[in-house]
Amino acid sequence: VEKTKVKDFIHINDFDKETIKKILDRAIEVKELIKSGERTFQPFKGKTLAMVFAKPSLRTHVSFETGFSLLGGHAVYLAPEDIQMGSREETRDVARILSRFTDIVMARVFTHKDILTLSKYATVPIINGLTDYNHPCQIMADAITLIEHLGRLEGSKVAYVGDGNNVVHSWLELASLFPIHFTCATPKGFEPDAKTVAKARQAGISKIVITNDPKEAVKGADIVYTDVWASMGQKEEAQKRRLMFKGFQVDQNLMDLAGSNALFMHCLPAEKGVEVTEEVIEGPKSIIFAQAENRLHAQNAIMLHVLGE
Ligand code: CP
Ligand code: NVA
């Protein structure tokens, strides 16, 4: 494989703290520019982004497509049935073909191995738009949301309640660079990957607590965060999981335990009345739409970084 590219965006902790800080600062800067109506900043002019989806999406699809075109580029959407990665087309061939046509590739896949294969065989930057293992673009957007709503990222307490999977793993990636207090409460058997937890703890930067007690986890939290109990690819387990996750719903009682300043976040899409009550997600402490908007701005800065702009 001839490799000429320098950068992918696969895990937040593939980078050092300074680089991630620079990307976050740039995101806020470009956000202001875009929101001011300024349209002369066109760094992606003449460039093409391929967006590969093996799973559904609203936010990731629209934010990458609009972000890339707002900054002058052209984005191509590839639905799951277009490529049929792994059956109609080998994953490594997807990487080699798209590298001939495009300047940058964003991919949302099932197994994490697929994003690593794309990265290995592509000669253009690969951005991880979610795998079963992690969701780095989401947590970059969430970091901006914390900076905007709490005035800081460092020292904030984030309490995640629910399934210890992809979103949690990316919080742990962030926690290995920036000092936060991250607590994660899951039912037994749904804890985050032990190696990922150990690696984040070894970094020695953040206070990391993994527990099966949601009430304990949320005490004093600045942010109470949850995600669906059945992720994409697990929807047939939804009924079973509802029983197993009993007691882990974010409701007003849990928010009250967190304290009167606690804000509610959710990466969306949400199942209202399942992992979170309608009262909380639609309530005054919920910042889900500001959070979703920051996907656009985080990703613009990530793309600027990997394209060396
Ligand atoms: N949060 C998130 O990634 O949303 P989509 O699945 O709609 O892209
Ligand atoms: N954990 C969820 C996140 C969706 C953005 C999933 O993987 O489906």
Q: Is the dihedral of CA 229, 263, 58, 101 positive or negative?
A: negative
Transcribe the chain into DSSP letters.
--------BS-GGGS-HHHHHHHHHHHHHHHHHHHTT-----TTTT-EEEEEESS--SHHHHHHHHHHHHTT-EEEEE-HHHH-BTTTB-HHHHHHHHHHH-SEEEEE-SSHHHHHHHHHH-SS-EEE---SS--HHHHHHHHHHHHHHHS-STT-EEEEES--SHHHHHHHHHHTTS--EEEEE--TT-PPPHHHHHHHHHTT-SEEEEES-HHHHHTT-SEEEE--SS-TT-GGGHHHHHHHTTT--B-HHHHHHH-TT-EEEE-S---BTTTB-HHHHTSTTB-HHHHHHHHHHHHHHHHHHHTT-
Other Cβ atoms less than 10 A from the Cβ of 162: the count is 26
Pick the residue whose CA is nearest to atom 7 on ligand 2.
231
Is the whole model's pTM more than 0.95, yes or no? yes
Per-residue pLDDT tens for 73-102? 999 999 999 999 999 999 999 999 999 999
Per-residue pLDDT tens for 121-168? 999 999 999 999 999 999 999 999 999 999 999 999 999 999 999 999
Distance from Cα 58 to the centre of ligand 1, integer Å: 6
The residue among 157 and 5 whose pLDDT is bigger is 157
Per-residue pLDDT tens for 229-279? 999 999 999 999 999 999 999 999 999 999 999 999 999 999 999 999 999
Pocket test for ligand 2, best of 60, 227, 235 (most atoms within 8 A of CB): 227
What pLDDT, on the 0 to 100 scale, is given for residue 4?
A: 52
Query: Which residues lie closer than 8 Å to 238 by C-beta, 6 or more apart?
Result: 229, 230
pLDDT of residue 21 exceeding 70: yes
- Above 0.85 for ipTM, yes or no? yes
pLDDT of residue 42 exceeding 60: yes
Pick the residue whose CA is nearest to atom 2 on ligand 1.
59
Nearest partner of 288 among 231, 229, 226, 245, judged by Cα: 226
Mean per-residue pLDDT of the chain: 97
Q: Which whole number is the average pLDDT over 207-218?
A: 98
Q: Calculate ∠ Cα 46-51-54, nearest 5°.
A: 165
- Quickly state the pLDDT bin for 1 (edges 50, 70, 90): very low
Residue 137 annotated as catalytic: no
- Quickly state the pLDDT bin for 291 (edges 50, 70, 90): very high
Residue of 197, 205, 267, 276 with catalytic role: 267
What percentage of the chain has pLDDT greater than the value 70? 98
Pick the residue whose CA is nearest to atom 3 on ligand 1.
60
CA distance 295 to 309: 19
* Ligand 1, atom nearest to 267 Cα: 1
- Quickly state the pLDDT bin for 185 (edges 50, 70, 90): very high
What percentage of the chain has pLDDT greater than the value 90? 97
What pLDDT, on the 0 to 100 scale, is given for residue 301?
A: 98
CA distance 110 to 94: 15
